[in-house]
Amino acid sequence: MLLLAAGFFVTALLYASVGFGGGSTYSALLALAGLDYRVLPLVSLACNIVVVTGATFRFARAGVTPWKGALALTALAAPAAFLGGLMPIDRSAFLLLLGASLVLTALTMLIPVREVDAGAPTRFAKAIPFVVVPIGFLAGLVGIGGGIFLAPLLHLTRWRDARAIAATASLFILVNSLFGLVGHLAKNGPAMFGGAMVDALPLLIAVVIGGQIGSLMAVRILPLRWIRWLTAALVGIVGVRLLAGV
C-alpha cells in the first residue's frame, strides 16, 4: 500500500500541476496492483474529485471560469458520464478501454499549449458540444473525468484562452467524476463503495497532499512543458503495460 500511495501522490502532483485530476492513471495503478476492476472507478473518481475540487474553486474565485460555455459543455457530458458509470462491462473490455484511454491521454499531453491562444475560435469549435457527449460516456465507463480529452480540443479550436480552458477542464472533470461515481454506485451498490473508501483512505490522503503541492508549487519548480512530457511518458508506459496484459 505504501508504494501504491507514493504512486498516487506523484500522479496527483503531476496532474494537478497541469490542471487535471489523474483518474485514468489511478485506475491503471490499481489495475496493475491487482485490485478488483469493479472497484477501480470508485477509487479513481473519488480521488479525481479530491484533486480538482480545490482547483475549480480557485479558478472561480479568480474570475477566469467562462461559466456560460463551461456549464453548457459540462451539462451535455454529465448525463453521459452517469450512463457510462451505470453500464455493465467485463474485465477484459474495461482494461482494454482503460489502456487505450491512457495511451490517448499520453498523446494529448504532448500537444503544445500556449499561455494565450489569440484569435477567434476556428469553425471546428462549433462541433465541440457534439464531442463532449462521447467523452462524458467514456469518462464514466472507465472512471476518469474526461478533461484530459476535452482540453486539447478546446486549445486546438481556440475556444478560449489557456486559463479559461484550464478552468473549464477542472469543472468538467469535477462534475463528470461526480456523475460517473453516482452511476457506478447505482450499478455496484453503496456497500462496495464504502468498503473501497475504507481501504483506499491512504490513497485519498496521498492525492490530497500531492494535489495541493502540484497546484501550488510544481509549476514553479519545473517548466510546464517538462511536467507535461514527464506525465505523458509515465501515462504512456502504464497504458502500454495494461494493453499488453489484456
Looking at this protein, which amino acid is placed at residue 229? W
121 — pLDDT class (breaks 50, 70, 90): confident
Q: What is the average pLDDT across 189-209? A: 87
The model's pTM is: 0.87
| pLDDT tens by residue, 27-47 | 888 888 888 888 889 999 999
Separation between Cα atoms, residue 232 and residue 108, nearest integer Å: 8
Average pLDDT, the chain: 85
117 — pLDDT class (breaks 50, 70, 90): very low
Name residues whose C-beta falls within 8 Å of residue 186's C-beta, 6 or more positions apart in sequence.
Answer: 85, 86
Q: Which is nearest to 98 in space by CA: 155, 15, 180, 41?
A: 41
Residue 246 clears pLDDT 70, i.e. is over it: no
The DSSP string of 26-45 is HHHHHHHTT--TTTHHHHHH
Separation between Cα atoms, residue 143 and residue 109, nearest integer Å: 19
Question: Cell numbers of 99, please?
Answer: 489502456
Q: How far lies 155's CA from each of 114, 136, 149, 150, in Å?
A: 8, 18, 11, 9
For cell 501550488, the residue is: 216
Separation between Cα atoms, residue 132 and residue 153, nearest integer Å: 10
Per DSSP, the three-state class of 228 is helix
The region of weakest confidence among 39-43, 81-85, 160-164, 166-170 is: 160-164
Q: What pLDDT, on the 0 to 100 scale, is given for residue 149?
A: 85
For cell 504532448, the residue is: 110
